[in-house]
Structures are given as structure tokens and as C-alpha cells.
Amino acid sequence: MTRSSSFPFELLKCDLSTAARRGQLHLPHGIVQTPAFMPVGTQGTVKGLSIDQVVATGAEILLGNTYHLALRPGSDLIAELGGLHRFMGWDRPILTDSGGFQIFSLGDMNRVTEDGATFKSHLDGSTIHLRPEDSIRIQEELGSDIAMVLDHVIALPNSIEALRDAMDRSIRWAARCKEAAVRTDQAKFAIVQGGLDPELRCQCAAKLIEIGFDGYAIGGLSVGEPPEEMYRILDVAAPALPVDQPRYLMGVGRPIDLVEGIARGVDMFDCVMPTRNGRNALAFTANGPLRMRNQCHARDPNPIEADCPCLACRHSRAYIRHLFQADEMLGPTLLSIHNLTFYQRLMQQARTAIENGTFASFLAEHRLRLSGNIS
């Protein structure tokens, strides 16, 4: 069990030949089996899908976006209506991000100081000032099971001076978030920064552990660096985190990256990739992705994947392609369902492989299968 009795993390099995872990995280709205993938529900919805459809994919936890929900409809309104779970009709766990990545993604529209970040709303251009204390207050009003601390994300590659400055600020902001927190029924996760510098990553992890949180995320990756560089940092950052607490790799979502992350000891993932690609006619499969607009699928009577139980795979590839060619909204919905189901099945297969002591062969197989060309 984790040292945080309020949100127990049970480490059920560790792989002997890799750092892969099988566990379960106990949260107020349910138990999450790990390794776990969290679909992204940016604005209180997994885009294009009903809650029942998301449940049918096998998802046990969703991610909500603090920045977007604070702007519209407002965290105070969501709190007035009973919190984010009731607002969106999802009765399972929710993790909310802090807004740090959105500040980063706004680029020239933001200015970061020690007090917080000042930026322009993407909706109406109004000026917003977000401090660590504000981020926590908003997430407590949303009522998520896990709240992320506000961190300072910067682009990669970058100078060691810039990386250290952002890392140190992230640590100070994390401490302010913890001090500002009021709710005892909401787990707080800190975020390890430090760019592509192993020493900074280890320093950041050590200082955050000293402050003490319910879980730890590895942030600031998948922002333009090659996959090999990300893996190199994971090799250092994941072992620097407590063995008995959950580890979350933020915003990383290629299927092969999930498998490689699990092999390095990561427990939780999130990404818009399965739904965003689904809306753009790309289907993920165990043998690599398929572009469903391609002519080769026009007369194909086979499902996207023969063994997939999802709603999309009740239909032929030819029908899925037709929906996209005809600009029917059902096409993006069905492919989003398929992709999320694929991701959840991948997590289940990884969990089973860890339990059975076969994760090393699972890893080797998926390194081959997921490196195929798009067809």
C-alpha cells in the first residue's frame, strides 16, 4: 500500500525483467487498474462520444481540463451543479490537469512570473492571471478525484539555465498548491520537470518527494523531442519516484510510447491522440494504424480488427471509409470509439502480461508490430 492512506495504491505485481508494474489505485469514485490510459475529456466531454460509449470502451478514469472548464462554463457554475462528475454524468474517477500545459501552448499570449501566469483567453482575448492557488481552487470546485499542481512547462530543447529556472519555479508552485489545498477527498499529484537533463529530473523528483504528494507525474515531455530522448529521461525519472505511489506520464499517447513507458515503470497515461486521430479517419490497430480514407479500404468487407468488440468493428472497413467520404458524423464517432477501445485493450493486455510474467515478450512483440507502416 502507498504511504497515503486516503488514496491507497496497491502494487500487485512487478515484472522481473523490466520495470513494468501492475497495480490498482483507490480513489473516491472507484478503483483504477494500472497501467491505465485516461481518455481526455477537455470540456466535460470526450469529444463526439456519449458517456455510455466511453464506458463501453473500458475506460475507468477520465481527464478534465482545468483551463477550459474554468473559462467555460466556469468552475463555480460546475460546483453549483454538484461538481464535474454530476455535470457530465460520469460516476468514475476524474483527474484534472492544472492548466500548465495550456499556458505553455498559448506561446506568445502568456507571461510567467513567480506569482503565476498571465495570458489571454483564447475565447475572447480577456486577460487572465492564474496562480498556483487559483489552479487548486478551481480543481477543488470541479471536485475531481486527482488534482495536478500548477507547473511551468517550457519548450524542448532549451538551455540548462531555462530548464533549471522552470524546474525550480515548478517546485515552488507545487509547494504553494499543497499549502492552498483544502479538500481532503482529492488526491494531489506533483509534476517532475527538468527537460532532457537527467540530473535536473532527479533533483526535481527528490524535492517534490520531500514536500510530499499522493502521486507523481513526469511532465514536459512529448513537446517535440525524439522518442529516444523521452525514453532516456524515463529511464532516469521513473526510478527516482517512490515505488509505492502512482507514476503518471503526461500527454504521451502513441501506442508504442505507452508500451515503452510501462516497461520503464509508468502507471498512468493520457493523450488526445486516439480521439483526435479517430476524427481524422485514422484507426489504431495491433499491427499499426490504418488511414480509413485510403482507396484500399473501399471494398474491404473486413472489420478494422477481427477480434475487437467495439461498435465500429461490427461494420466493414468499406462502410467506415464510406462514412468519412460522405462526411457523415458517425464516422468520427465510430473511429473514436474504436481507438479508445484499442487503447484500453492494450492496457488490459499489458496488465495480463505483467501478471503472467510475460511482459518482456509482450514488449518485444509490440516493438515489432507497432512499428509498421500506415496503410
Q: What integer pLDDT is reported at residue 374 of this predicted model?
A: 63
Can you give the residue ranges of every domain in the chain?
9-271, 272-375
Q: Indicate the angle between helix axes 160-180 and 132-142, nearest 10 degrees.
A: 50
Q: Name residue, grid cell 487503447.
A: 343
pLDDT digits (tens, 9 = 90+) for 101-151: 777 776 666 788 999 988 888 888 888 899 999 999 999 999 999 999 999
Q: What integer pLDDT is reported at residue 2 of this predicted model?
A: 43
Q: What integer pLDDT is reported at residue 1 of this predicted model?
A: 45
Rounded Cα distance, 164 and 193, in Å = 9
One-letter-per-residue 3-state SS of 139-193: HHHHCCCEEECCCCCCCCCCCHHHHHHHHHHHHHHHHHHHHHCCCCCCEEEEEEC
Active-site hit among 15, 97, 134, 151: 97
Q: What integer pLDDT is reported at residue 109 of this predicted model?
A: 65
Clarify whether 15 is annotated catalytic.
no
Rounded to two decimals, what is the model's pTM?
Answer: 0.96
Clarify whether 76 is annotated catalytic.
no
Q: Which of 103, 99, 120, 121 is nearest to 112 (CA)?
A: 103
9-271 topology per CATH? TIM Barrel (3.20.20)
Under-50 pLDDT residues of the chain: 1-2, 4
Active-site hit among 15, 134, 257, 270: 270
Q: What integer pLDDT is reported at residue 100 of this predicted model?
A: 75
- The dihedral built from the CA positions of residue 220, 150, 178 and 116, taken in this order, carries a sign that is positive
Count of other CB atoms within 10 angstroms of residue 34: 29
